[in-house]
Chain A
Amino acid sequence: MVRDRKGYREGFMTERTPGFSTLAIHAGAQPDPTTGARATPIYQTTSFVFDDVDHAASLFGLQTFGNIYTRIGNPTNAVLEERVAALEGGTAGLAVASGHAAQVLVFHALMRPGDEFVAAKKLYGGSINQFNHAFKSFGWNVVWADPDDISSFERAVSPKTKAIFIESIANPGGVITDIEAVSNVARRAGVPLIVDNTLATPYLWKPIDHGADIVVHSLTKFLGGHGNSIGGLIVDAGTFNWSREGRYPMLSEPRPEYHGIVLHETFGNFAFAIACRVLSLRDMGPCLSPFNAFLVLTGVETLPLRMQRHCDNAKAVAEWLTIHPKVAWVSYPGLPGDRYHTLAKRYCPKGAGAVLTFGLKGGYDAGVKLVSNVKLFSHLANIGDTRSLIIHPASTTHRQLSDAQKVQAGAGPDVVRLSVGLEDKEDIIADLEQGLDGS
C-alpha cells in the first residue's frame, strides 16, 4: 500500500467526534469492569488497597495511574472529571469541594506571595470577596479591570501578574465577556487566562475554544443542576506553556514533594490539572464527596436539555418583564436591545443563560416586596436549579461590597436577580405577575 505522508488521512473517516449530548452522558464512564454495573458506582470509600509495597510506592511517586485516598482521587469523582473536561474540550479535570475551592487551588498552583493577578470587576460577589479578603492572607493581590474596556486589562498587567480571571457570562447581571479580546491580553502578557464558566456551562459556551487556558466551575449550579450538591471543578485546557523559567515553579521546577519530578515534563498537556491535584488538593484538602460527584454526574447527563429549557424560559421571562409597567429596566443578553446582545450572539448563540437582573420603578422597597410575595420562585442564594430562584443581591450575595462596588458589579440597591428554572414558563410568569401586583 502506497502511503502519501501528507495526504493520507487514515483515521479521518472512522473517527467522528461525538456530539455534546452524547458526551454529556458517556464521557468518562464505562460499565464497571468487575460487576458490569452500568451507572457509575458511588465509590463511597476513603482508601484503596495496594498490590504490594512497590505498587504503593509507585502510586505515591506518581509513577503509575491509580487510586490511593479519596482526598487525592476517587473513581466516581474521576468520571465527573473526565466528563466535564471532555465537554469543555480540555485535557483533564479535577473535582473539588466547591467553586470557591476550585479557585483557591488554581491560584495556589499559580501564585507566590507578592504576586498579582488581574480580575474582571464584574464577578459573582463570592469571588470578589475571596479575591479582596481571603487571598490577601496568602499575599495574592488582585488588580481589578473592567470587562467592558479591554484596555483596562492591559493597563492592569504588571511584571508581577501571574494570571487573568474572568467570568464568561458574569453573575448577576448577564454581562458577556469578550473572551478572545482578554485572551489576547493574557497571551501578550505571557500569563494563563482563567475563565469561570459556571453560568454558561460548556453547552452554551466553550471558553477553551476562545483562548481560555483554565476553566473553573461551580458544579453546585447548572452542571449539577438540581440544587442538591456543592462542588467545584477545574479544567486544564492543555494550552499554556509552563516551561518559561521560574514563573510557575509548581510546574516548571523539580518538586521537593515528589523527589524532584518536573510536572510539565512528566505530564505534558495535563500537567496543570495534575499540579492542582497532587500539590494543591493533596496538601490543602478540599476534596469532593463521591456521593456529591454521583449526583452531579446524574445532572450532567441532561445538561443539554436543561440548559436549552433554562434559556428559552429565561428569554420568555425577560421579554415579559420588559413590557411590565412596574419594571424600570431588564438586563438579559438574550434581549435584542441589550448592550451585550451582539457578544451573546457571537459567543453563546444557543442562549444567553438563565440568570437575569431587573430593577423595579419602586426601587429597593419594591424589590424587597416582590421577593416576599412570590410563591413559586424560591428566595435563596443559589442559581442553576431546576427550581426558579429569586434574590436581592445587594443585601445578600454582594452585601459585603461597598455601595460603589455593588453598582459596578451590577448589584445596586434596586436590583433583583432571577435564576429562571425549568417549570412551565406560564407558571413562572404568573408567579412574577402576582408578586409584582402586590409590590
Chain B
Amino acid sequence: MNHDSYPDSYIRGILNTVKSIAMVGISPKDNRPSYFAFKYLLERGYRMIPVNPGQAGKDILGQKVYAKLSDIPEPVDMIDVFRAAPYALPIVEEALTLKPRPAVIWMQLGVRNDEAAAKAEAGGMKVVMNRCPKIEYGRLSSEIGWIGVNSRTISSKKAQLLGKGVQRMSLNRQTMTGGATSAAQRAQEDGASAAAESGQKK
C-alpha cells in the first residue's frame, strides 16, 4: 500500500466494513479532537470503544473505557490510534495478539509510523496513516461539503441520507475523484515524514 495517498475506494471500503472501533488515546475532555471524532463516529452508528489507561472504568459518552486493547471483551474491527507515532508500534504488536485479529490499524492526522505499518500489513491488517476517520467519513459522505471543504469527490448520483437525523449522510455514495489538493498533500507529507522521522529517532 502506498501510504502517501489512499484511493477513496480503499478508505470507503474500510469505513463501510468495520463495525467496531477501539480508539486508543481518546481524551475525556470534550474540546479535544479525539473526543470530537469519537462522538461523530458514535452518532453514525459505529460501536465505539474508548481505550485510555488513565480513564479505565469510567465512561466517555456512555461507553465504558478500557485500560488497554487486550482488556476489551468483544471483537474489535479497527484500532484508531490517537497517540504519537512512536506508540503505534507497541499498539500494533498488541493488536497482533488479539483474537479475532482486528482488520484495520488507523493512525490519526500527523501520526505516521512506517515500521508499525509494515508489521501490521505483514500480519494481514489494513493500514491507514495520517488521516482522521471523521474527516474521511465527512468527505466520502459529502457531509464535509457543508462547511466548504474540498471533498475531492464529484458525483452525479444523489447522496444517501443515513436515516438517523436531519443532517446525517451515509457512506453509500457513488463518487469519482474530484479536485486535487497537491500543495496541501505535499505540505502534509513533509509534516508527517518529519514527525515520523522524529518518532523513529526516539
Contacts and interface: CB of A to CB of B under 8 A. Distances in A.
B202 interface: no
Interface string A225-239: 000000000000111
A92 B149 contact: yes
B80 to A, nearest CB: 15
Given A86-B178, A266-B33, A277 B184 contact: no
Given A78-B145, A89-B183, A238-B183, A31 B33 contact: no
A86 B178 CA distance: 8
Which of under 10, 10 to 19, 20 to 34, or 35 or more describes the interface residues of B?
35 or more
A99 B35 CA distance: 36
Contacts of A269: 181, 184, 187-188
A252 B77 CA distance: 34
Contact of B160 (A33, A63, A239, A273): A33
B154 A23 contact: yes
Interface string A55-84: 100100111111100000101011101100
Contact of B183 (A36, A73, A237): A237
A282 B179 CA distance: 27
B178 A18 contact: yes
Contacts, number: 193
Contacts of A17: 177-180
A26 B138 CA distance: 18
A346 interface: no
B31 A254 contact: yes
A82 B166 contact: no
Contacts of B147: 65, 73, 78, 92, 274, 277
B43 A64 contact: yes
A27 interface: yes
Interface residues of A, number: 74
A426 interface: no
Contact of A10 (B2, B31, B43): B2
A238 B177 CA distance: 19
B158 interface: yes
Interface in A25-73: 26-34, 36, 48-51, 55, 58, 61-67, 73
Contacts of B154: 18, 22-23, 26-27, 29-30
A94 interface: yes
Interface stretch (B5-13, B45-53, B63-71, B88-96): B5-13
A101 to B, nearest CB: 15
